[in-house]
Amino acid sequence: VLATLFVFILHGRSYVPELYDVPVLNFITGLPAWAGVWIFFFLSGYTLGLGFFGNRYKIFTEENKFSFKGLIRFYWGRFLRLAPLYFVFLLLWDLLFAKGFFLKNPKTLLHLITFSFNGNGGVGGIGHLWYVSIVMQIYLLLPFIYLLTRKLKNRKQTAIVFFAVLAAGFFVRN
């Protein structure tokens, strides 16, 4: 609920200019939307992790061997969950509102369709789609993080792997 409120209220406050005049309301409506988005990222990662550890996503066989077929099935399921509606949105947005934006900006289109869009080159109507790219990247990485963590025996090993993944993410990001 807080994550949704952080995002919704900050983006909606520009439609009620009087909020800026009341210090308490200005503060409450100015809570960072990015914090709400990160809460959603953590929840997505956590629930996917539960799915892996609960054997919902069968990337290991009954004999406890890695299943490439299971990994592809996981990726395909995640792709089908997000991509079709995402691509329809892009098409309709370009046809109805942007009137050929993608023909004039093929680099932005390439980033959007390869899920590597980070908001740069975006305009009103598609700038928010960086979130979908990040979620797809989480989907790509999580099976490998699961492979690293499934054999951990104690908290010390778990902490070491956690901080290694955190550091790797920090260095990739920066």
Instruction: Output the CA torsion sign for 59, 61, 65, 70.
Output: negative
The reported pTM is 0.80
**Mind listing the pLDDT tens digit for each residue in 26-66?**
888 888 888 999 999 999 999 999 999 898 998 988 888 99
What are phi and psi for residue 153, nearest 5 degrees? -100, -30
Instruction: Give 3-state DSSP helix, strand, coil % of the chain, rounded to 5.
Output: 75, 0, 25
pLDDT of 112 reads 96
Give residue for tokens 């909606």: 12
Pair 90, 114: CB distance under 8 Å: no
* Buried b / exposed e along 109-123 (16+ C-beta atoms within 10 A): bebbeebebeeebbe
- Digit-coded pLDDT (tens) for 95-135: 999 999 999 999 999 999 999 999 888 788 898 899 999 99
pLDDT at 152 over 80: yes
User: What is the average pLDDT value for the chain, to the nearest integer?
Assistant: 90
